[in-house]
Amino acid sequence: MTKIRIGIVGYGNLGRGVELAVAANADQELVAVFSRRDPASVNIITQGVPVCRLDDVENWKGKIDVMILCGGSATDLPAQTPALASMFNVVDSFDTHANIPAHFASVDAAARPAGTVGIISVGWDPGMFSLNRLYAECILPHGKDYTFWGRGVSQGHSDAIRRVKGVKDARQYTVPVEAAMDAVRSGSNPELSTREKHLRECWVVAEDGADLAAIEREIKTMPNYFADYDTTVNFISQEELDRDHKGIPHGGFVIRTGKTGLNGETGHIIEYSLKLGSNPEFTSSVLAAYARAAFRLAQNGHSGAKTVFDIAPALLSPREGADLRAHLL
């Protein structure tokens, strides 16, 4: 079996997760890791795989089947995904929902003339949650869907707390409100405010002598991040934070309730949930599966930008169609 040759661009939590996910897929092999850092400073897990300068990526044209892009959505991917799509099939996890149309357009414009495939916004939200919103809406057009996130660590909110004066370290958990989920499952189609859907739970390490009341007040009133939520702030030691809040778990729920019948008298609930031990490792696993699809689509002459909505599920599997029909259908 010729393996799908994978390149990784960017080696943080996500890049490391992709490295592990590729190793877990028997039909894929890691060929090179690309970084903007000095390659000598980047230590990867896989033996015998080179770490290369991103500036030299062009030399790898024809030697890598799919590049999995592991940079951030704020500044890395808007530039990197189109640039790399002009040379390689690419998959990214671009997750700034509001900018997806523009990102799709720029990747499409780069990939089409190059004859490459670029699958964007792959992961769990956007990604698996989006798919579940789509499937459920198509099946139950008369209904309403709700997405809840958590319980899980929000990196962005943790960072926001760390920028508060007197804060040494912090971890923020987004927690879905059980009562809101139950109201949704009842089929009553509740209108839920931001505050009613999620709680924000903060674990904060303060600097010695810091004004704890001031820190708590500043967190709870922070616009966009916390002001619209019921927020709890817990002060703990660095040791406790390191011991009890080291992981990056996440997850959530997509719930759609809908009605069928002559007069909408029949109710149905479709629910999808994830409980992830590690947000980046799960996202990476989704990226690796979609890399397989990108490779196959390109082999079959497709090109341009795609999203999870455009990918037939069978393309994600290493198994043959007949095998899937006999054993999974």
List all residues 6 or more positions away from 271 whose beta carbon is below 8 Å from its beta carbon.
Answer: 185, 253, 254, 255, 256
Under DSSP, the state recorded for 49 is P
In angstroms, give the least distance from the CB of 326 to its own copies: 5
Round to whole Å and give the CA distance between 77 and 95: 10
Residue 214 amino acid letter:
A
- Specify the residue for token string 């700034």: 96
- CB contact set of 307 (below 8 Å; sequence gap of 6+): 100, 104, 119, 120, 121, 122, 126, 130
Which C-beta is closer to its own copies: that of 170 or that of 254?
254
Which residue, 231 or 283, is less far from its own copies as judged by CB? 283
Nearer to its own copies, 64 or 308 (CB): 308
Closer CB to its own copies, 166 or 190, in the complex = 190
Beta bridge partners of 252: 149, 274
305 close to 81: Cβ distance less than 8 angstroms: no
User: What's the min distance (Å) between Cβ of 235 and its own copies?
Assistant: 29
Smallest distance, Å, CB 174 to its own copies? 18
> Minimum CB separation from its own copies for residue 198, in Å?
20
CB nearer to its own copies: pick between 68 and 222: 68
Of 76 and 137, nearer to its own copies (C-beta) is: 137
Distance of closest approach, residue 242 Cβ to its own copies, in angstroms: 17
Closest contact distance (angstroms) between CB of 102 and its own copies is 10
| Whole-number Å distance between alpha carbons of 20 and 8 | 11
Binding residues vs its own copies (CB under 8 A): 17, 20-21, 24-25, 45, 97, 100-101, 104, 121, 126, 128, 130-135, 137-142, 260-262, 266-278, 281-282, 284-286, 289, 292, 307-314, 316-317, 321-322, 324-326, 328-329
Q: Do residues 235 and 139 touch, judged by C-beta distance below 8 A?
A: no
